[in-house]
Structure formats: C-alpha cells, structure tokens
Amino acid sequence: MSNVGTPKRRGPYAKSAERRRSIVDAAFEVFASRGYRGGSLQDVADRVGLSQTSLLHYFPSKADLLVAVLNKRDAEADTGPIAEDGDFETTLVEQARFNESVPGLIELYSVLCGESVTTDYPGREYFVSRFARLRGEYSTELVMLREQGRLRAGVDPERAASSIVALWDGIQLQWLLDPSIDMAACLKDYLDSIILPEPEGAKLR
Amino acid sequence: MSNVGTPKRRGPYAKSAERRRSIVDAAFEVFASRGYRGGSLQDVADRVGLSQTSLLHYFPSKADLLVAVLNKRDAEADTGPIAEDGDFETTLVEQARFNESVPGLIELYSVLCGESVTTDYPGREYFVSRFARLRGEYSTELVMLREQGRLRAGVDPERAASSIVALWDGIQLQWLLDPSIDMAACLKDYLDSIILPEPEGAKLR
C-alpha cells in the first residue's frame, strides 16, 4: 500500500537484467583497453561497484563474460544479413565508414581477434565461426555478381571473400594506430578492382 | 693452472649473453601463447629456471623483455629492404609462402599487434613505426612500377601500400584459425590486380 501514487518499482528481474547489462558494459571497456587476458574480473567489479563474488553470481566465469561482450559487439556493430536487393559494395563501404564513428568497438574487436590465436582462448570458436560465416556470405554475393556478369574475369569468389575480410581487419588495425588512414577508401578501391560497375540501363530499373 | 689441458671455460660475458638469449626465447614462447599482458614474468622465469628477481637482473622490466622479443622477431622474419633489382611482387609472395613455415612467429606477431591498440602498451610505438615504414617502402615500389608503366591505371600507391599490409595481416589471422586459407594466393591475387605483367621483351634483358 505504501507504493500507491508513486511510480511502480521495478521488480527483481528487471533490476537483475539491468545489473547484467552494466557488468557487460564495464567488461567491454576493460577488455577493449587491456584485452581479455590482461583485463581482470576485479577491474570489471570495481567499475560497477560490486565484489568479485557478487559479479560471479551474474557471470559464473570470465569466459562467460567474454561471450556476453562478443554478443554485445555483434548486436552493435555487425553488418548483419545483406539485403537481397541491396548493393553489396555500397553496404560494405557504408559499414566501414560507420566504423570510423565507433573506435571503441573496433578496438575491442581488434584486441580480442588478435588474442583469439592464443592457447586455450575461450573466444577462439567465436572468431573461427565469424570468419567462416563472413567468407560464406561474401563469396555467395560474389558468385551472384558473377552470374550478373559483374565479377572481373579471373576473380576467385572464395579467395576474394577471404581477402575482403582480411583487408578490412588489417586496415582497422592501421587506422587505430594512425587515424589518417582512410579505411573506407581502401576497401572501396579493392571492391572496385574486383566488381564491375552496373550497366547504366540496369540502374534505372 | 688447474685448467691446463682442459677446454677453455667460457667467460662471464659469454655466459650472460647466452642467458639473455634463452630468456628472450622463453619470453617469445610465453607472449606468443598468452599475449604480452596475459603472459607473466613468472612464466618466463619458470621456463629458464630462474627466480623473477634474477630475471629482472637481465631485463629490468617486462616492457624491456617485449622490446627484445620484437627485435628477435624482426631478425627472424622481416622481409628486410627490398632489393633494387628484385621483383616486388615475387619478393612479397615468397615471403608470404615462407611465413607458412613459421606459425609461431606469425602467432606472436598477430597477438602483439592486436594488443598494440590497448592503453599504455609498451609495444605500441614499435607497431606504429613498423606500419609507417612498410607503407613507405611499398608505396615507393609502387611509384617505381608506375614510372615503368606497370601500375594499373587509377591505383593510388599510398592506399594500395596500406592495403597490401592490411590484407597480409588480416589473412594471417584467418590462416592461424583455419590453415586451409591460402595466404600467398590471396596476396598474389591482389598484387596481380594492381600490377601489370612485365612486357615479354623486358624479361629477356
């Protein structure tokens, strides 16, 4: 009865979800600035004002926290499925341009991706799957472009798909260390070199 | 006099140099498998059978050890200056092929390079300089090729230089996670797309 007339208080479930979100946000910052191995659970706990024991109530291990951070990253950054009728090249170049506005996200990705090749790394499978998925998506797009007569002769769709992913990852690293690097322009140059322009007539459809 | 007739014992200087080398070798392994931040001085000390205090007698800090490991990496792996009369494309593709035989070196590079974007990382300056130097070397080569009429029209030497470095770094990451990726072929495809073949007559000179 004491709550009558005051805003409804949030239940324990909502509070718990909010707490989880703030822990993931804190872990995101810690892993981006110190890496997964270099960042400690204590650093994360300190940022949200919890003890390590309380933090482990929400995420039973540091590895679970890493998975949550990688999922958050995906939700915020990934290109997602490429629209059937969208233009492949434009979609990628726009995504690269967008990435310049989220350096923290790119930093997190670059650090965790480099660490993924270390021994017993809990995020390894994430990166193995991510690379396989992106290569699959991009090579499917390139095969479709080839069927439309828009892939330059001699281009191998699978190797080109690996190369798009590679160029993008590598140029992000250089950009983080030297922001004068034009990531989107480098990616566009490469795509222009393998994809032929749409015939004028087709654009007007 | 007691040493007469027995092999000359190695002096303290040689022993110290040998000890330093074995410490750097151990640090190389530790950083490659756990990263710089994740690898501890204790791990390195354990591998060479020293206490941490004794280890710090040879390398006053973990950061000093990182610099020594990066220098060792350079000595073992870098392409070095490109010979004036050497073929640029062949040199790079052969280096990429060679890299497949030294996965430990590539792993170390990928991990430390990813970490280089983290806060207060002692190897950051090394990677900033390395990228600037490679971009400079490659763009000089591409400008020379342009003067010989061998750069495809519209290729920007500076962006292409960044892209070669980026593609190479990125494809190494994918290869470490999936050895079926053909690093050298991806690099060659890209170089073939920007560099025109040497005219038949010129090859016979």
* CATH, residue A158: 1.10.357.10
Closest residue in A to B121 (Cα–Cα): A34
- CB pair distance less than 8 Å for A194 and B194: no
Complex ipTM: 0.87
Residue-level pLDDT at A5: 54
H/E element holding B144?
helix B124-147
Both A94 and A60 in a single domain? no
Residue B200 has pLDDT above 80, yes or no: no
Residue B56 has pLDDT above 90, yes or no: yes
Structure tokens at A115: 């660490």
Both B41 and B136 in a single domain? no
| Residue B95 belongs to domain spanning | 78-203
- CB pair distance less than 8 Å for A119 and B169: no
Tally A–B CB contacts below 8 A. Answer: 161
The packing angle between helices A12-38 and A62-77, to 10°, is 100
Instruction: Give me the mean pLDDT over the B100-115 stretch.
Output: 92
Of A25, A41, A69, which closes a domain? Answer: A69
Euclidean distance between CA atoms B131 and A47, whole angstroms: 34
Both A88 and A163 in a single domain? yes
- CB pair distance less than 8 Å for B118 and A107: yes
Both A36 and A106 in a single domain? no
Both B95 and B35 in a single domain? no
- CB pair distance less than 8 Å for A178 and B113: no
Strand partners, A151: A195
Closest residue in A to B165 (Cα–Cα): A170
Residue B82 has pLDDT above 80, yes or no: no
**Confidence category of residue B49, pLDDT binned at 50, 70, 90:** very high
- CB pair distance less than 8 Å for B177 and A127: yes
- CB pair distance less than 8 Å for A37 and B33: no
Q: How close B161 gets to chain A, by Cα (Å)?
A: 10
Residue B198 has pLDDT above 90, yes or no: no
Per-residue pLDDT of chain A (205 residues; tens, 9 = 90+): 444 455 566 677 788 899 999 999 999 999 999 999 999 999 999 999 999 999 999 999 999 999 999 999 888 875 444 545 579 999 999 999 999 999 988 999 999 999 999 988 999 999 999 999 999 999 999 999 999 999 999 999 999 999 999 999 999 999 999 999 999 999 999 999 999 998 776 555 4
H/E element holding B3?
none
Euclidean distance between CA atoms B54 and B45, whole angstroms: 8
Q: Is residue A158 part of a domain?
A: yes
Q: Is residue B144 part of a domain?
A: yes
Both A123 and A140 in a single domain? yes
Nearest in space to B99 (alpha carbons), one of B11, B4, B5, B182: B182
Confirm or reject contact between A16 and chain B (CB < 8 A). Answer: no
Both A146 and A105 in a single domain? yes
Q: Is residue B3 part of a domain?
A: no
Confirm or reject contact between A165 and chain B (CB < 8 A). Answer: yes
- A117 contacts on B by Cβ (under 8 Å): 107, 110-111, 173, 176-177
Both B90 and B185 in a single domain? yes
Q: How close B8 gets to chain A, by Cα (Å)?
A: 43
Q: Which of B173, B180, B188, B192 to mutate to test the interface with A (most CBs of A within 10 A)?
A: B173
Residue B77 has pLDDT above 80, yes or no: no
H/E element holding A192?
helix A183-194
- CB pair distance less than 8 Å for B169 and A173: yes
Both B44 and B144 in a single domain? no
Of A45, A69, A93, which closes a domain? Answer: A69
Residue-level pLDDT at A11: 77
Q: How close B155 gets to chain A, by Cα (Å)?
A: 8
Lowest-pLDDT range, A9-13, A195-199, B102-106, B116-120? Answer: A9-13
Q: How far apart are the first and last CA of chain A?
A: 65
Q: Is residue B5 part of a domain?
A: no
Residue-level pLDDT at B203: 52
Which residues of A, range 119-158, sit inside 8 Å of B by Cβ?
A: 119, 124, 127-128, 131-132, 135, 152, 155-156
Number of domains in chain B: 2
- B181 contacts on A by Cβ (under 8 Å): 162
Euclidean distance between CA atoms B171 and B106, whole angstroms: 11
Q: Is residue A197 part of a domain?
A: yes
Residue-level pLDDT at B205: 47
% of chain B with per-residue pLDDT over 70: 88
Q: Is residue A5 part of a domain?
A: no
Both B92 and B174 in a single domain? yes
- CB pair distance less than 8 Å for B117 and A177: yes
Both A122 and A194 in a single domain? yes
Residue-level pLDDT at A6: 56
| A28 touches A108 (CB < 8 A) | yes
Confirm or reject contact between B196 and chain A (CB < 8 A). Answer: no
Q: Where residue B34 sits, what CATH number does that domain have?
A: 1.10.10.60
Closest residue in B to A112 (Cα–Cα): B114
Residue-level pLDDT at B76: 83
Q: Highest-confidence range of A3-7, A28-32, B2-6, B77-81, by mean pLDDT? A: A28-32
Residue A161's CB is within 10 A of a number of other CB atoms, namely 21
Residue-level pLDDT at B81: 45
Both B37 and B104 in a single domain? no
Of B25, B42, B71, which closes a domain? Answer: B71
Q: Is residue B113 part of a domain?
A: yes
The packing angle between helices A12-38 and A103-115, to 10°, is 60
Confirm or reject contact between A102 and chain B (CB < 8 A). Answer: no
Residue-level pLDDT at A81: 45
